[in-house]
Amino acid sequence: MRDTRDIPPTTPDPITWLREDRARAQTARDPCAGLCTVATVDAEGHPQARTLVLRDVNGRLAVFLNRTSPKWIEFDQAPSVAVVVWLPVLNLQYRLRCRIEPVPDALVAASWQLRPSAPKRLDWLYTATLAQGSVVRDRAHLLEALESVPLPDPLVAPPTAAGLYLDAFTVDRLDLAQPDGVHDRRHFERREGDWHERIRVP
């Protein structure tokens, strides 16, 4: 007998749904619309969670980071990562489990050119002078180092700049904005190329 909880012919694509919700949140000036929290496990087995900019690169979710960061090793060694997107303006939460795949270097380099000036300088600081997470004497010392960091001409991405696609295989969407006060929780699992949806108790 067919499991009626699985409805692939009518199941929405949760990544498309997430993209649309993020667009609505951006229109509503939600400060979290461009962010996500990514959870990994460090070498000692301790959980680590970081807020990163969540990007849409050629229709795929991605994050950009620097290989000098401790989180690069955690990403590089992890079979999967957990990602949370919280959109407070909409009262929506997404929880994703994602496999990771490197963004091609050429695409990283092209996307890097779109970064603001300060993050570009920081990337070169990480590469040339102070690795991300290094201890400095005070903030003034950091700003001085940032101002004096040598930059190439023309300005291009450093070799430590990297990107990772986040390919979700499970998505849990929790909508808190229900008029009856009962949260709407939907769980999606990708199997053999199709998304399968189940309604869960919130």
Q: What is the pLDDT of residues 140-157, one digit of tens each?
A: 999 999 999 999 999 999
Local confidence band at 5 (pLDDT 50, 70, 90 cut-offs)? very low
70 or 157: which leads in pLDDT: 157
Residue 182 has pLDDT above 60, yes or no: yes
Q: Domain residue spans in the chain?
A: 14-113+159-200, 116-156
- CA-to-CA distance for 14 and 170, rounded, in angstroms? 9
Q: Whole-structure pTM over 0.75, yes or no?
A: yes
CATH architecture of 14-113+159-200: Roll (2.30)
> How many Cβ atoms are within 10 Å of 78's Cβ, its own excluded?
17
Average pLDDT over residues 147-170: 95
* Mean pLDDT (the chain, rounded): 91
Q: What would the two tokens of residue 198 be?
A: 């189940």
- The yes-or-no verdict on residue 11 having pLDDT over 80 is no
Q: pLDDT tens digit string along 90-149?
A: 999 999 999 999 999 999 999 999 999 999 999 999 999 898 888 999 999 999 999 999
Q: What's the rounded Cα separation, in Å, for the pair 173 and 171?
A: 6
